Structure 1
């Protein structure tokens, strides 16, 4: 890059937009930024966005990811979590890093893999995006073909299902059709602030058990 990215400082909650970025430049940016960094990227040719999350963003993604893991465990669903893995496709000229993602139906196909090739491997079955100071790039997720996307913004959880190339908001997650997550996950997130993480996760686990027994 003409300007070394490691010399740039992006304050938390802010983003940097780079225009007219080619695929080779995008790959170079990823290499310069490295894997162990605090920023997120989203690339849809020819625009690259680099964003540095706020602490609120980071804690919320961890807590909701914990809730998803509990839901999957109690539903006795095998899963493979890949966190903020970078997904990219040169042929389609896009790249995205979800806040968290999970392989569920396709878990066995990626189990144990350290590197994924989206020309051969399936996309994650469920992805999570936390919108505190930025918006979810649903257009990139459409290109990626993620069947279910959770979007958390302004204290509300939205469950989006991909149908015919468009995301539609639904009331219940197809992965957890018995559990009213849209209403209760925000409630348990608020409870963490007063009761603490461990006590709240225990309460969430007991609530899910009751919902699955209905």
Structure 2
């Protein structure tokens, strides 16, 4: 309910209660309406339909099974999760499906993560980037590099940069080197950190040296930059 509507409802109910208490007997007193917003017995459960909390609990248990389920069961569970993802309207549930299926080494799981990294909801795309980072491999590097270069949401791009580092794959160097051209200090920081992870090299926080390295050039230390110049470059 809208905040103003709720406020008006409380005022009306309070006024009604005042009128009744001053001019009516207990027998004629107005009962509290069924939609009273502060009832202690509220619930999001509809008979016969699992609540979102119940669905999330089930999905998390299925996610835990990935570590010990036999291959046949992994295929079955991931196929069922993939089918659910295709028809799920609630983005919060789609996020949980992505997290649940991410640990399954199946084609169905990869298909869901591929769809999720292009989802209309940014939280789903965030979860997909994180999952690809944990999954690793050339396919993960390709999907994350695409998200890093083209996603419209800054947080998703930042997650993609971080996740590329988690893959530990040197194939991420080109995409991370390109990310260093972004003027956002947060992006530069995550790109440098991820480059350390995938290369084993360490040029400190010297973005120019990392740029040179990513291009295949010999890194040379940059001239010291004053605090004033650093602030100026941000604007």
Normalised by the length of structure 1, the TM-score is: 0.31
Point out the structure with max Rg over C-alpha: 2
Taking structure 2 as the reference length, what is the TM-score of the superposition?
0.29
Relative contact order: is structure 1 or structure 2 higher (C-alpha 8 Å, sep ≥ 6)?
1
Tell me which protein shows more strand as a share of its residues. Answer: 1
